[in-house]
Structure 1
Amino acid sequence: MTYDRYGDPDVLQLRDLPTPKVGPGQILVRVSRASVNPVDWKVMAGGLDAMMDAHFPVVPGWDVAGAVEQAGPDTPEFTPGDRVAAYGRKMVVSGGTFAEYVTLPAEFATTIPDGVGDDAAAALPLTGLTAKRSIEALDLTAGHTVLIHAAAGGVGYLAAQLALRQGATVIGTASEASAGKLRDLGVAPVAYGAGLAERVREIAPDGVDAVADYAGDVLETTLALLKDGGRHVSITDPSVAERGGRWIWVRPDAAGLAELLRLVDAGELRVDIDRTFGLGEVAEAFRVSQAGEAKGKLVIDVTR
C-alpha cells in the first residue's frame, strides 16, 4: 500500500514495487501482520514533514510481525524462518510495513515467542513500547497512585497494566462504554470531560503521585491533581516539558519489545484487538482510526 503525496486516505493505492534490498546488518521480513496507529495517517497527512524526510512513493506502517526471509551480511542473530516482530520506524518516511516485504535494521527486531500469535505481536510494538517508556519515566512503586488519561486507548490500556504490575493504584479516564474493560484489569475508571478533577478526588482526595497523558488537552487538570513533587508525562502535548513534565517519544527497542512479548506469552499482559483488515483495506482502516471508532488495535493481515 503506497501514497505518492500527502493527503487523506484517498491518496492510498495498492501497487507492485521491487522487493526491498537487504544490506549489512539488515533483515528482510516477509510480513504476516502489521497494525494501524494514528501516527500512520498523521504522517500521511504531512504531520511530521518538518521533522522527517519522505521518499515517495511511501509505504506506510511501522508495526510488523512476520518471518525472516533473508538476513544481510554480518547478521548472525537471525536466520531465515525466524518469527520476528519490530517497531520499524526509520529515519526517513518510505519503506514501511504495509507490504509483503520490509527491510529493517536487525537491532529493531526480536523473536516472537511460540505462544504469541502474529496478530498480538503486530499490535504490540508502538503502543507497547510507548507505554513501557512512559511508565518507566514515572518511576512508580507500590503505594503510588497514578492517573492515566485515555486508559482504554491503545497505549493507555497497556500502560495501565504495566503500572499495576509496579504495585500502583491506577485511575483511568474512559468513556462509560469502556469502563468495564478497565475494571476487569483492576483500574478505577472515571468519565472524562467536565468535572474530571472532582471525580478523581473522590477516589484520591489528596491527589495523585503521577499522571500519564495519552489524550491531550488535559494539562491543567493534570497539574491540579498532581501532588507536590509528582511526575507527569505526555505523548500528545510537548508543552508539558515547560511545566515540569516529560514529552515522551517512542523509539525502536528490541530488548523492550522482547520483554513485552514475554509478558504476553505468560498471560501477564493483554493486547486488545478490535478487528482485522486486508492489505487492500488500509484506507478503510485509517478512516476507522481517524473517526475514533476502534475499540482496540486495528490489525492489517498482509496475507489476505
Structure 2
Amino acid sequence: MSRFDLAIVGGMVVDGAGNQRQRTDIAVSDGRIAHVGRVRPGDADRVIDADGCVVAPGFIDLHTHYDAQVFWDPYLTTSGWHGVTSVVTGNCGFGFAPVRPELRERSMLSMTAVEAIPTETLREGLPWDWVSFPEYLDSIERTPLALNVLPYLPVNPLLVWVLGIDGAKAGRRPTDDEHAEIARLFHEALDAGACGWSAQCLGRPGESDGRFPQGDFDGTPMPSDIMWPETRRVLAQVLGERGTGFMQASGVPDDEVESLVELSGRPFIWQAVVANQLTMYYRNRIEWLRSCRERGLPVYGQAMTVDAPIHFTLSNEAILDRSPL
C-alpha cells in the first residue's frame, strides 16, 4: 500500500510564506499536504509530473460578486483561470438572501444596477430555491463547484427583510425589536457559514461629508448607504459575542470604524485603497491604516491588484446615478 494518495513531483514550490522557492516534491494524503520533500517512486497512488511548473497554494479572492454566478459557472470565471481556489462573496452589502419571493425580481434589478450583471442572465441562472440565508447556502452546497465559497451576510437584503422595502429605502431607524431581529438573523447566518457582514455606506443625501448614496435601478438609495450607525453596532456586537467573523465596508467614517473594532474585537476590512492622481487621499488612508496597526486595531485596507479602467459609455445607465436630471 502506498504511503500517499498523490504526489506532485519536480515542480518549483512557492509556499506563499516568504520562504525561498525550491524545486521539490509534495505528497498529499486524505486531501491534505502530508510531506514536502523527495517522494520516492511507488510512494504515491497517483503522480503528477510538475516539471516546468510552479506549485503554489491557491489564491483567495477576497472581493467578488459571484453570488449568482456560483449557480452556472463552477469555475467562477475568470477567477478560476488565474489560480484562485477560494472566493469571498456578498461584498459591499449586496446579495440574494434573505429575499422574500415577491422581491426576487427587484433584487435582480438592483444587482444589475450596482454590478452591471445583466438582469436576463440572473433570471435564467438563479434557481431561487431559497428564502432565508441558510437556505441560500444550502443551495450553493448542492451546486457542483470547483472553487471554495465563503459568503458575507449582505446588509442590503437584511435591512429590506426586517424593515420592509419602504422602510429600508426611506432609511427608517430600526426599533429595538427590529435590531433584535437583525441580530438574530445574523447569528443564524453565522451558524450556517457566513464569515461576517458587509455593507456599502456612502451616506445620506444632503450630508456634508462628501458622501452620496448609490442609486438603485429606480433611483432610490441603496438601504445600506443610508443605514443608521446603531445598526452597524448591533452587527459588530454579535461578532464580539461570538468571538469570530469580520466586517467589510466602505464609506464608514474612520472614528466609527475604530469604534466597531473596539466593540467587537474583530477585524474590519476597509475599502478601497486606490492609488491614483488623488495622492493626498490615498496617502492619508495609508497613514490612518498604519496608525490603526500601531494602536493594535485590526483594520485592513483592501486594495486592487490589477488596473481598473473606467469606460464611459451611454449604454450603461450607472453614469447618470448622480445626475440631477
TM, length-normalised to structure 1: 0.25
Structure with greater helix percent = 2
Structure number with higher relative contact order (C-alpha < 8 Å, ≥ 6 residues apart): 1
TM, length-normalised to structure 2: 0.24
Structure with greater strand percent = 1
Question: Based on CA coordinates, which of the two structures has the bigger radius of gyration?
Answer: 2
